[in-house]
Structure 1
Amino acid sequence: MAQETHLNPDHASVRDSLGGGLTHVGSSGEAQMVDVSEKSTSKRTAIASCKVLLGKKVFDLVSANQVAKGDVLGVAKFAGIAGAKNTGSLIPLCHNIMLTHVRVDLRLNPKDCSVEIEGEAASTGKTGVEMEALTAVSVAGLTVYDMCKAASKDIQISNVRLESKTGGKSGDWFRHG
């Protein structure tokens, strides 16, 4: 049996107090996919990042390409690209976006025995590509975890975050610090 969602009757006032920031909430509080049909087309980019903390033992295995499942960084790169391309299927209220560019870079950091992941997505369209960039780094990080979990269960995926976005009505945004 489906469960009803009951929302605070003042949801509109909360949304209004946030400057209309909750675009995926309808007038009666229900989740909705935003209608972008009237928005202007523009070039949009987003960069996201995350870090996978491996620990010394797993870091050494990845560095030497000795993980039993194979080339961790290569597989994670392709998984991240596939993740970006499938964001609309994974995140229910995201639009399917025609991506014009996806980049996923993975770099080993011996200082903290981690894999630093950066992902970039670009499109010329009516809605931003932040979720595609975030999904790219998340899926790449999950793939690193999956490929290394036999060697350690203590692996951590951390600091999944947007670094920048450009284009669209809200303009450009860059993380500081």
Structure 2
Amino acid sequence: MSMQPAVEAYTVQDYLQWEGDWELIHGQPVAMVPSPSFDHQQLSAAVFRQLDESLDDCPHCQAVFEIDVEFAQDTVVRPDVLVICYQPESERLTRAPDLIFEVISPKTTRRDEVVKFDLYRTEGVPHYVLVYPEAKKAKVWWLVDGEYRKVGDFHDETHCFELSKCAFDFDFSRLWKRKGGQA
């Protein structure tokens, strides 16, 4: 009879003590890749800039850039860009955002497409967007009855995001204007 090694689980309290950049998913530490490339940051900034401008007239919603979201006592992630339609109750975000954008890089593809996809679905994030810099494409997912349904692939189209407290159009063609949209 072989014994399975015990898997140590960590909590947000442990996470808050760690040095460096980490995410904590279901009690398991996940090292973040080294600082995103310059082009990745430019693309994330383009997403943030457009979201921020789109929400200028909404008194309830705001775009946020690379901030920890604490989903549970054993789960903290840091999406590239997100939109919340509530006022945070503390310094940390502890409720699901209305919209999350993740810019895909080669080292994070599986985590963003599988692990975070399932996490965000389970946590009730209504809109999830995966941005693929190399393909100059974004995949938009919408949560319906607890499952993500693909809205479509977007390159130069505009999509209307209907959030809990507002709606706005997002022009995906604006993402690819700088440096050919490579990340």
The interval holding the TM-score normalised by the smaller chain is under 0.3
For the pair shown, the structure with the greater C-alpha radius of gyration is: 1
Q: Going by fraction, where is strand more abundant, 1 or 2?
A: 2
Q: Going by fraction, where is helix more abundant, 1 or 2?
A: 1
TM-score, L = length of structure 1: 0.27
**More contact order relative to length (CA 8 Å, sep ≥ 6):** 1
